[in-house]
Amino acid sequence: MKKSNRHRSKKIGMAPGSLVHVGEVKTAQPAVSIFRFAKDQLSEHTLSTETLASLALPDAGEKLWLNVHGAHDVALIRQIGQLFHLHPLVMEDILNTDQRAKVDQYGDYLYIVTRCFHYDAKKMEIGSEQISLVLGKHYVLSFQERATGSFDPVRERLRTEHAAIREQGADYLAYALLDVVVDRYFGILEQMNDAAENLEDLLLRKPNAALLTQIHLLKRASMELRRAVWPLREVINSLLRNESAMFSPSTVLYLRDVYDHTVHFIESLEALRDLLGGMMDIYLSSVSNRVNMEVRALTVVTMLFMPATLISGIFGMNFEHIPWLADLDGFWFALALMASIASLMGLIFWRRQWLSRG
C-alpha cells in the first residue's frame, strides 16, 4: 500500500487526463507487435516508435491486433492514443498500472482492464501485471507491463491456417484474450492448492511456528488474489449485457463461458481460504493439545513424588517418639513404602492411559 501511494504521489496537483506513468517499470525497452488478419491472410511484424506513425488503420474486412509490452512509455502511449483517437482518460488509465478490473465505454470503443497473476512458490506471494484492452469495431489494442506469455496461445491460433479465430471479428479476439487470462488463473490456483496440501501434511505430522507463518502467507496471498479477481466477475457480467453492442450474439455465448470460469475460480478460491482457515484451527488445536500433554506429564511426575514428600516430611517432624525412627531398618522401610505407593500410583495412571501420549 505504501508503494502504491508513493507512485500515486506523482499525480498530485495534475489535471485529469494528464499523462504520467503510475506504477513500477517492469520492462526496460517497450515492444510493439502487430497482427493483421482476415479469413485467408495474416501478417505479423514488430514496429518501432518511428514506424508506428505510419501505421495504417485496418481496411474493411481486415482486423488488427496491436500489442504493447511496456505500459510505462508515456510518449509511446500518447502516439498510439493519437493514432486510434483514444480519450485522454483512457491513456491515463493505461499508464496507471495499479487499477482494479473495470470496463468503460467511450463512444465507438470499449476500454477493459484486467490483471495477469503469477505466484512465487518460495515466498508464497502473489504478483500481478495490469492488462489493458481497447476494443474497436475492427481492432484490438492490448497493453501489458511486461512480456508474460499470456497471449501466446492466441498468437498460435492466429498463425494456424484456416483458423476459426481469423473468420471472427475483433470482438472474438478480445474474448480470446480475456479467456486465456482467466485460464491462467487456474494454474495459479493449482500451485496454491498444492502448497496448501503440503502444509496440511506437515501440520498433521509436526506442527510448528514456521508452518503457521507459511499458512498466514498463503492465506494473505489468497485474499489478495480474491480482492483482485472479484471485480472481474462484474466486468464480464457487464460485457454479457452488451449494452454497447460491441459484441456479436455469437461472441456473447463465448463470454458466458468466461463468466462461468470466473465464478468457478472465485468459488475454488473460497474453498482454499476455508481450507487454510481450517489448517489454522488444526495448528491451534495441536498446540493446545501439546500443552495439555506437557501439563499432564508434569502433573503425573508431581503426583508420583508427593507421597514420598509426605512420608519424608512426617519422619522429619521434631517428635521424640515416631514409629520406625529408632528401628535399624526404619530408613529402608520408609523407602520401601515410598516406592510401593509410587508404583501403585504409576500402575493406576497407566491403566487410565495418563502415561501415554494419546
pLDDT at 8 over 60: no
Each residue's pLDDT tens digit, 247-304: 999 999 999 999 999 999 999 999 999 999 888 888 888 878 777 777 877 887 888 8
pLDDT, residue 174, reads 96
Each residue's pLDDT tens digit, 137-154: 999 999 999 888 899 999
Is the pLDDT assigned to residue 12 strictly greater than 70? no
pLDDT band at 28 (very low <50, low <70, confident <90, very high): confident
Q: How confident is the model at residue 102 (pLDDT cuts 50, 70, 90)?
A: very high
pTM above threshold 0.75: yes
CA dist 344 and 340 (Å) reads 6
Residue 65 backbone dihedrals phi, psi, to 5 degrees: -125, 115
Q: From CA 302, how far away is CA 120, in angstroms rounded?
A: 50
Quick one: pLDDT at residue 346? 82
